[in-house]
Amino acid sequence: MRENVVSFALSTVVAHLLLSKAYAARPCGNSSAGFQYRLGDMRYDGPDPSKNNGLATIAASLQGSTGTPLFECIGQWPKAWEGWYEDGNKLIWGDCIYTGAGLAQDRTVSFAVDWKKRAMYLAHTFACSDKEGSDGLAIGSISLDLNCTTADDGSFCVPKSPSTGTRPTLTISTTLLPAPLDGTVACIDASTQYQSWRLENWQRRIEMEPGSSPTNPKIVSDSGPSFTLRSLALGGELSCATSGQQNGTFVGACRFADAAARTTGEFSFDPKLNMLVISQQWRCDDSTSFETDGVIFMQASCGRVFNSNMFICTSNPVWIGTGVV
């Protein structure tokens, strides 16, 4: 469990308590509908020389129309990856945690940064006000114009200020994606739909030695994560559970309750990087198949079980995307 997990624990708990009454719906019937978030504070920090872990961190604050900070976003990855997973083909998403400071309209908000291109991507899901029981998904991006500074204790970058010296006004616009496909669409046609998932019911049980703390953990046992995945493009829910470890990384399978279902999934979770990689495969009736995968820097809040050395880590629902739309 890393320091960032602890630092965001309070806001995660607040979000958990308030989320059920804190968001409103958005209209989904207009295919050209667009939405906006204001980008408040934003900062990129290169690796901290004193920690010698090579990790870069990026954080951003999303504001509503009144300037109230509604979501706090954080991502972290090895600097050399520049926002992409180690193979360079998978964009790393990060969760944006609801602050509870105002009325939000989204169920989940996630962001990703292509550091090489200095581009930030934003995705948010919401209940459809004009189609009860359905969710909408909107995605957008913004180019980052930054001032970067290097010092003995590391490097950092922030948005450039205008000539007046005031904070720049930055807005991220998102566009509603097409509605999820229905069950009559051919499987191979579904492969052209943008694929993403909503992760829910995240749980991980960690036992520590007496006297351990989240900032100085001495782990005795770690169950690895279990969770559920719902495809926003094609529907259906997968149950995922850890089955073992490979070189310190947890691995597991994701299954439908219906054993005859033509889709399966698998995942890996690196507890040192808090990096979750998921993959789902579909087998079509015409003997064709397709596969898609996504990556997220996974945050969680961990609470100690009363009178024990066991910690249980949970998370609110998060959205995981694939590549760039």
Question: What pLDDT was estimated at residue 181?
Answer: 55
pLDDT tens for the chain, residues 1 to 325: 444 433 333 344 344 434 444 556 788 876 666 899 999 989 999 999 888 899 999 999 999 888 889 999 999 999 999 999 987 889 999 999 999 888 888 999 999 999 999 999 999 999 888 777 778 899 999 999 999 999 888 899 999 987 766 777 899 999 998 766 555 455 666 677 888 999 999 999 999 998 777 677 789 999 999 999 998 887 788 999 999 999 999 999 999 877 667 788 999 999 999 999 999 988 877 677 888 999 999 999 988 898 888 999 999 999 999 877 6
Question: What pLDDT was estimated at residue 4?
Answer: 41
Domains in the chain (CATH in brackets) are 3-176 (2.40.350.20), 187-321 (2.40.350.20)
Question: What pLDDT was estimated at residue 290?
Answer: 85
d(CA 46, CA 221) in angstroms, rounded, equals 32
Question: What pLDDT was estimated at residue 27?
Answer: 80
**Cα within 13 Å of Cα(256), Cβ side:** 15
d(CA 210, CA 310) in angstroms, rounded, equals 10
* Residue 191: strand, helix, or coil: coil
Contact between residue 96 and residue 110 where contact means Cβ atoms under 8 Å apart:
yes
d(CA 228, CA 254) in angstroms, rounded, equals 8
Question: What pLDDT was estimated at residue 66?
Answer: 81
Q: At residue 189, what are phi and psi to the nearest 5 degrees?
A: -70, -30
d(CA 321, CA 38) in angstroms, rounded, equals 21
What is the DSSP secondary structure assignment for residue 253, as one 8-state letter? Answer: E
